[in-house]
Amino acid sequence: MRTTRNVTKPKTASSGAESAAGTEREFATNGGNDISLGCLEGLLGYSLRRAQLAVFQDFLHCMKDFDLRPAQFSVLAIIGANPGLKQSRVSEALGINRANFVALLDELEQRKLARRAAAPGDRRSNALYLTPKGEVFLKEAYQHLIAQHERRLEEALGSTNKQLLLEQLGKLAALS
């Protein structure tokens, strides 16, 4: 609670509040608006994370009308490109825990975008397919992503070769 810490605070409050504001300004290393990133500056992980968040944010904004999150899109994309794949294979390909994949797929199935079918030769498995509606949906979502989202990213990169960037990211992803 705030109250807990406030017990010790008023000691500074009653006496030297204004004077402290004057004197300590010289000592306080940062009273201004310039914030240094310190050692974060050169760390790839930090830049990577901030970039990923910004890109996902843009993705979400772009897919607002489709009500589609990145993970959902990735599932549709994999199923669309590899119809009949077993459930575990899809989750594995995306690095998604197969336990977590269940609810993800459940929602896509409820929205009639994907379906679980009996896998030939293995009654444990589900073979995954897009529904006709799902195929259309994926195609339209992808088109919109390319036209809006991806185009915006390429614009931001400017003259940078996007393909080169993808290769660099691929090298990093290969670490895991």
Q: Would you tell me which residues interact with DNA (CB under 7 A)?
A: 1-6, 9-10, 13, 17, 53, 69-71, 86-89, 96-102, 104-106, 116, 119, 121-126
* Helices 132-144 and 70-81, packing angle to 10 deg: 120
Q: Rounded to 10 degrees, what is the CA torsion of 68, 78, 171, 60?
A: -10
Q: How far is the CB of 120 from DNA (least distance, A)?
A: 10
Q: Which of DNA, its own copies, none does residue 58 bind (CB under 5 to 8 Å by kind)? A: its own copies
**Residue 67 or residue 121: which is nearer to its own copies going by CB?**
121
Binding residue (CB under 8 A) for its own copies from 18, 67, 103, 132: 18
Is residue 120 within 8 Å of 127, Cβ to Cβ?
yes
Q: Which of 137, 68, 75, 63 is nearest to 102 (CA)?
A: 75
Name residues contacting its own copies, limited to 50-109 (CB under 8 A): 50-59, 70, 74, 77-78, 80-85, 89, 93, 95
- Amino acid, res. 62: C
132 in contact with its own copies (CB under 8 A): no
The number of residues that bind its own copies (CB under 8 A) is: 84
- Distance, CA of 121 to CA of 110 (rounded, Å): 26
